[in-house]
Structure formats: structure tokens, C-alpha cells
Amino acid sequence: MGMTLAEKIISMKIGRIPSPGEIVVLPVDAAMAQDGTAPLMIKSFEGMDAKKVWDGSKAIFVIDHISPSSNEGTSALHKMMRDFAKRHGVVLYDVGEGICHQLLPEKGHVFPGGVVVGADSHTCTHGAFAAFSTGIGSTDMAAVFASGKLWFRVPETLKINITGWMPGNVMSKDAALYAIGEVGADGATYMSVEFTGEAVSRMSIDSRMAMTNMAVEMGGKTGLIASDGVTREYLEGRIKVPFLEISADHGAHYADVLEVEAGKLEPMLSCPHQVDNVKPVSEIGDVPVDQVFIGSCTNGRLEDLEAAARVLKGKKVKARTIVMPASRETYLAALQSGIIEILVRSGCVVGVPGCGPCVGGHHGVPSPGDVVVSTTNRNFKGRMGCADSSIYLASPLTAAYCALNGKITVPE
Amino acid sequence: METLKGKVWKFGDDVSTDLIIPGKYKFKTIDLGELSRHVMEGADPQFASRVSKGDIIVAGKNFGCGSSREQAPLVIKHAGVSAVVAKSFARIFYRNSFNVGLPLVECPDLYENVETGDVIEVRLLEGRVESMGKAFYFKPIPGFLMTILQDGGLVEHYKKRGSFVWEEPIKSQ
Ligand code: SF4
């Protein structure tokens, strides 16, 4: 019997074929904590009386959630991270470097066949590089920092097969939102979500990452995509291990399969206050929009900023529009290609690379009654820092059209 | 630890970590006393002031969905809640809860049969919840997680043993 992508990666680590439901212990290739989770990780690590970090080159801290800090309390937690990183030789990406899930692949910490854990739920993003990658909590992370290993339940796999190609106004985010609407917020709980099909093979790395990023919004443990030429092109020169092409076997057993015809997709919105409350943009009608956010580990990459700039070039936004590049590298590329200038001239506020408004800490907390269109991945009540605002999740293209017209708009 | 008896607080489906402890608080402090004053704030603003020691949360499906913040099970535990019984849990929340020493029970059948204020008894080792003389069954908690719970969470567990229970061969469930 063949193996799914998740089973294959696990088998490469344990040297035998794993079966879903089984508990396995895997060595970890990259372990990341960010400023929302690292302080508790440090507290747990020290509480355990653990003496040293197993391998400082594989242990990574990122200061991205409230970055730069907006208050004294947060600053003290950031300092705690810097001190720990120095003491234990942990890799630290400090303020302004970017969002953890963009930095890990950019800086070469992620490679096909690797096992990546992050004290952040969207760690599933790295499955776009055929790495077994999942979110864990701070104390689990302390265990990894102490021992370099962790237990996992071998997941069943849900396959999402996207055939054909998407219409011009549809982005991979729309495909992800559509799938979440079909599967539900808990439809893939504990499962690996494997994206396959012609559309996925043709997609850029940026587009693929937007989809694997959203796997956790259906409850998934990881989102996975086979590694191919596109992956190789991105990773070459970044990773220090040989590149591997890894894909699922023919005849692999899937717990469930969702077939999606890319050609039939249209721009989608996830409506307040549940990610799986998904509707086509065309069904929403005239809803005035107060704020738009383009950024995050879902859609803050170059391709996303480019899509927004194409819409906003030479025009003015009608809603408060905040743009945050996912990383310093993204920011620089967008600067050099003129994207940033287009966005600034159109009235957007361009902020430092980081999570920003996504998690409600600072840089764009909405006010009560505000309607927000955001390219992020969660619209739970209070997510952006105000429980009385409404958040719609959209593709960067849809978000840019909403910014342009000051109301919910179907992109052309 | 093996048998927990307490008063029920009932919540619905998809209670996210943002409802359990809003993100805006977690970046400012890791002081649990401070954070616990906001426990379940997004779902029931009265909860923090009314919950008492030993109470049990009963919820629908996908409890603890959303972010990986360990503050979520921590504040629930710190507020005195002795266990959460839900139809299902989000994956990271599930791991985190055992790591901080908060027992979780997946028992879908209980939900329709209790209301806030009822007193229930949860028997972790036997896989049974009792409510008003009726019994509801669940798959008992895996042995290695029970060991972590009995040690008082993962931190105490490692402190006590100098290694993790899963580093020895684990019997599959
Ligand atoms: S951008 Fe948002 S979802 Fe992504 S890591 Fe930051 S806070 Fe989390």
C-alpha cells in the first residue's frame, strides 16, 4: 500500500511505514517560538531545570507579533527572549525582520522531508515545502528545546485535489477559503491536509504557502504539498541540505478526498465571526468597509502586494488601508519594484514587516462597529483587538478592490 | 486527580482561544493571576468572577480552536476549573492542556444531558462521566498523558524524572 505525503515524511524519519493513529517520536529539524509564545516557553524550560538547548542552530526565536513593541510589558518579554537567545545560542530574528512563517523558509530553516515545529498555530504553512510541520504550545516547545524530539500522533490525511486552473480574479486564498467552507472549521481535526492537482502544481510558492497556512483553519495538523521544481527554485541557495523531491505514492490511503474544480471557483469571503462561514463575494451585496488590511503570514508576500498594487495604481483608496510586508526581504523587493510607492501614493499606510493588526496587538486595532476586510486567516470575534468589529477574510485582490471602493466589491 | 466532581459551566461550539483569553492581554504579561481575571471573557464576561474551585467546563465541538497560546488552558486551570468535557477539542489546545496539567475529556454524549449548575463526576481512568445518576462513557486518556497529568504537567514531569515519558517506547493507542 502506498503512503500519503505525511506518512512518507514520517517514514523517512523512523525508517519504517507508520500507520495513522500510532504515536511516534520524531527528531526535530527546526523549532520556532515567537514573542507571544517564547516567554512561556522560557518559563517552562527553566521550570523543568533543563540545562541547555539541544541545538542552538535549529532553535529559533522571532519577534514579530508586537514588533516593534508598543508598551513596556511587551518590551520586557522581548528582552527576556533576547537574553535567553544570547545565553543559549538560539537564532534570533528581532524586530523588523518579519513574520516567523515567512522567515523560516526564507532563511533556509525549512526543507523537504524536514520536521518543523513552531509555537504558533500557523506553523502548518511550511508544509508548502513538503516538510512535516505543525503548531505546538510553549511547554511542548520547551520539551523540544530540551531534547530535540517530540511525540506525534500519525495523522490521517484529507486530500484536496484542485484540478484545472483558476479564473483571473481568483487567487489561491479563494481556493483555501472555499475548501474551508466545504470541510468546516473542525472537519480536518488531527489530520494532514494534502493539496494536489494541476492548479497546485502550477502555483507559485507564495500561492502555495497561502493555502497550507489555512490548513489549521479546518482543524488540520499540517498542510502539505509535494516538493517539485517550483520548490527547488525557491529553496536553492537557501538550504544547507540536499533538495529532495517528495510526493505521495500512488495508491496512498486517504481518509477523505475533496475535489475542487479551479475553473469554477470565484472570489470568496469568510464572513464574521467564523472562518468557515464562507460565501462568494458576489453574494454579499453593498457592505461599507472601514478598514482593509493586506499582510500577514497568509497574504503578505510579494505576489500579494503586487496584486494590490495592480488594482490601486494611480488611484486612491476610500477605506483606511494598512499594508505590511511579510518580511524584510519582501519589503525590499516591493520597494525595488515600485510596489511600495504605488501603495503609498494610493493612500495606504505601509507598516514594518510583522504580524501587526492580524492579532490585535497594535498597528491598526479597529473600533467598535468597524467593518474590516483582511487578508489574514482568522476572523474570530475580537481577533483584531476589538470584539465589536466585524472581520471579513479575503484574497489580496478582493481586499484591494474593497479598499478602492470603500465597500465590499467583487474583483474584476 | 482520577475522580473530579464539580459544578458545570456550559458553553457552545467552537470556543476559540481568543474567547478564552483575548490575544491583547497575552503579550503584556505572563502573570497568571493577572491573566485569569479575563478567563473566558469573550464567551461570558461574568465567568471570571463567578467560577469557583473544582468547577467543570462542558462545551460543544472544537473547544480551544485558534491560536497555540498555552495561556488558554493555563488561565482555565488557574481559575480553579478542574476539567473540561467537550464533544471535541482543537489539536494544539489538547496537547497544551495535558502539558499544563488540565485534564480534558472527549465525551460527545454528555453535552445534551447537562446544564450550567448541574454537578457531575468525571472518572478519568474508567472513562466515565456521571450526571444525575446517568453515566456517559469516553475513551480513557492515553497512559503516557495520564502520567504527565499525575506528575502535575510536563514541567514537573521533566523536573522529577530528567527525561520525558515518550522517550521510552510508547504503546500505541
Ligand atoms: S500574521 Fe497573524 S496568523 Fe500569522 S503568525 Fe502573525 S499573528 Fe499569527
Mean pLDDT of B24-45: 84
Q: Is residue A190 predicted with pLDDT exceeding 80?
A: yes
The C-alpha of B7 sits at a distance from chain A's nearest C-alpha, in angstroms, of 27
Task: Name the 3-class secondary structure at B76.
Answer: helix
pLDDT in tens, B122-143: 999 999 999 999 999 999 888 9
B102-121 average pLDDT score: 97
Cβ of B123 under 8 Å from any chain A Cβ?
A: no
Chain B: closest CA distance from residue A162 (Å): 26
Helix (H, G, I), strand (E, B) or coil at A231: helix
Contact residues for A214 (Cβ-Cβ < 8 A; gap 6+)? A173, A176, A177, A179, A180, A223, A298, A377
Kindly give the distance from the C-alpha atom of residue A32 to the centroid of ligand 1, in angstroms, as a whole number.
13
Q: State the Rg of chain B over Cα.
A: 15
> Is residue A376 in a domain?
yes
Dist CA A156 CA A179 (whole Å): 18
| Atom of ligand 1 minimally distant from the CA of A34 | 5
Question: Are both A95 and A190 inside the same structural domain?
Answer: yes
- Sequence-ordered strand ranges (E) for A262-381: 268-270, 278-280, 291-294, 320-323, 349-350, 371-374
B 133-162 residues inside an 8 A Cβ radius of A: 142, 144, 153-156, 158-159
Q: Which residues are within 8 A (CB) of A325 and not within 5 positions of it... i.e. 6 or more apart? A: A98, A295, A300, A305, A331, A334, A350, A353
Tell me if A39 and B19 make a contact (CB, 8 A cut-off). no
Model confidence pLDDT, tens digit, residues A7-21: 999 999 999 999 999
**Is the domain of A226 the same as that of A120?**
yes
Hey, what domains does chain B have and what are their CATH numbers?
3-141 (3.20.19.10)
B173 touches chain A (CB under 8 A): yes
Query: Which one of B19, B25, B27 makes the best mutation probe of the A interface by having the most chain A beta carbons within 10 Å?
Result: B27
The residues that bridge with A21 in the sheet, in sequence order, are none
CATH code, domain with A330: 3.30.499.10
| A22 falls within a domain | yes
Flag whether A308 is in a domain. yes
**Cα gap B17→B10, rounded to integer Å:** 16
pLDDT value for A5: 98
Determine the Cα–Cα distance for residues A186 and A221; give it in Å rounded to an integer. Answer: 11
Q: Are residues A225 and A295 in the same domain?
A: no
Stretch B151-170: mean pLDDT: 89
Which residue CA neighbors atom 5 of ligand 1 most closely? A297
Residue ranges in A221-327 assigned as alpha helix (H): 229-235, 296-299, 302-312
Higher pLDDT, A201 or B67: A201
Q: List chain B residues with CB under 8 Å of A40.
A: 30, 70-71, 74
- Provide mean pLDDT across the span A380-405: 95
Strand pairing of A23-27 and A149-153? Answer: antiparallel
Q: Burial-class residue B73 by CB neighbours within 10 Å (0-12, 13-18, 19+).
A: buried
Q: Is B136 helix (H, G, I), strand (E, B) or coil?
A: strand
For residue A69, the model assigns a pLDDT of 96
Q: Are residues A248 and A297 in the same domain?
A: no
- Point out the residue among A49, A74, A139 whose CB comes nearest to the CB of B154: A139
Where b means 16+ CB within 10 Å and e means fewer, A283-292 reads eeeeeebbbb
DSSP letter at A186 equals T
Same-domain check for residues A184 and A313: no
User: Do A147 and A199 fall within a single domain?
Assistant: yes
What is the pLDDT, as a whole number, of residue B29? 76
Please state, in angstroms and rounded to a whole number, the distance separating the CA atoms of residues A407 and A98: 30
Among B28, B62, B92, the residue with its CB nearest the CB of A71 is B28
Q: Which domain holds residue A278?
A: 270-405
> Across residues A58-77, what is the average pLDDT?
96
Would the CB atoms of B154 and A143 count as touching at under 8 Å? yes
CA nearest neighbour of A325 among A344, A365, A352, A303: A352
- C-alpha B78/C-alpha B40 separation (Å) is 12
Inter-chain residue contact A121 with B153, CB threshold 8 Å: no
- B101: distance to nearest CA of chain A, Å? 11
Asked if A199 and A302 sit in the same domain, the reply is no
Per-residue pLDDT, B26: 66
Task: With CA atoms as reference, report the closest residue to B170 among B139, B143, B146, B152.
Answer: B143
A316: helix, coil or strand?
coil
Q: Are residues A69 and A179 in the same domain?
A: yes
| SS3 call for A172 | helix
Task: Give the mean model confidence (pLDDT) for residues A369-376.
Answer: 98
Distance CA A226, CA A122 (A): 19
| Domain co-membership, A150 together with A186 | yes
Instruction: Note whether B68 contacts A: Cβ–Cβ < 8 A.
Output: yes
Q: Do residues A256 and A274 both lie within one domain?
A: no
B170: confidence class by pLDDT, cuts 50, 70, 90: low
At residue B129, what are phi and psi to the nearest 5 degrees?
A: -115, 135
Residue A75 has pLDDT above 50, yes or no: yes
Nearest by Cα to A218 from A188, A254, A259: A188
Q: Which residue out of A99, A100, A294, A362 has the highest number of ligand 1 atoms within 8 Å of its CB and is therefore the one to mutate?
A: A99
> In sequence order, what E strands does chain B have?
3-10, 56-59, 83-86, 104-106, 119-123, 128-131, 134-137
For the CA atoms of B108, B157, A122, A190, the dihedral, rounded to the nearest 10 degrees, stands at -30
Cα dihedral A173, A221, A247, A229 sign: positive
Distances, alpha carbon A338 to alpha carbons A193, A342, A348, in Å: 36, 6, 14
User: Per-residue pLDDT averaged across A225-248, rounded?
Assistant: 98
pLDDT one-digit tens code per residue, A123-164: 999 999 999 999 999 999 999 999 999 999 999 999 999 999
* Domain membership flag for residue A173: yes
Q: Is the peptide bond before A68 cis (omega within 30 degrees of 0)?
A: yes
Cell of A409: 466589491
In Å, what is the CA distance from A325 to each residue of A94, A95, A203, A313, B6?
15, 13, 20, 17, 49
C-alpha cell at A334: 516591493
**Is the residue at A410 inside a domain?**
no
pLDDT at B172: 44
Q: Do A44 and B95 touch (CB under 8 A)?
A: no
For A311-350, how does the pLDDT look when each residue is reduced to its tens digit (9 = 90+)? 999 999 999 999 999 999 999 999 999 999 999 999 999 9
Q: Which three cell numbers stand for residue A308?
A: 494590490
Report yes or no: B172 at the A interface, CB cutoff 8 Å: yes
Most A CBs within 10 A among B75, B92, B94, hence the mutation to make, goes to: B92
Report the number of distinct structural domains present in chain A.
Answer: 2
Q: Mean pLDDT check: name the lowest of A256-270, A373-387, B27-41, B108-122.
A: B27-41
Query: In this structure, are residues B54 and B4 in contact, taking their beta carbons and an 8 Å threshold?
Result: yes
pLDDT of residue A32 exceeding 90:
yes
pLDDT at B27: 67
Segment B43-55 mean pLDDT? 95
Q: A273 preceded by cis ω (within 30°)?
A: yes
- Average pLDDT of chain A, as a whole number: 97
Same domain, A244 and A327: no
User: Does one domain contain both A325 and A241?
Assistant: no
Confidence of residue B42 (pLDDT cuts 50, 70, 90): confident
Place of cell 502555483: A203
**How many C-alpha atoms does B70 have within 13 Å on its Cβ side?**
35
Give the model confidence (pLDDT) of A265-292 as tens digits.
999 999 999 999 999 999 999 999 999 9
* Coil, helix or strand at residue A356: helix
For A69-74, what is the mean pLDDT?
94
- Cα–Cα distances (Å) from A175 to A149, A172, A184, A259, in that order, read 34, 5, 14, 11
For B21, name the nearest residue in chain A, comparing CA atoms only: A382
End position of a domain, from candidates A260, A281, A299: A260
User: Is residue A237 a part of any domain in this protein?
Assistant: yes
**Assigned C-alpha cell, B89:** 477539542
Other Cβ atoms within 10 Å of A302 Cβ, number = 20
B29 part of contact set with chain A, CB < 8 Å? yes
Confidence of residue A361 (pLDDT cuts 50, 70, 90): confident
Residue pair B121/B129 in contact (Cβ under 8 Å)? The answer is yes
Could you tell me the three cell numbers for B58?
462542558
How does residue B92 score in pLDDT terms, banded at 50, 70 and 90? very high
Enumerate the β-bridge partners of residue A91: A60
Separation of alpha carbons A10 and A93, rounded Å? 29
State the closest ligand 1 atom to the C-alpha of A121, by its place in the atom list counted from 1: 8
How many whole angstroms from A221 Cα to the centroid of ligand 1?
16
pLDDT at B28 over 80: no
Confidence (pLDDT) at B94:
96
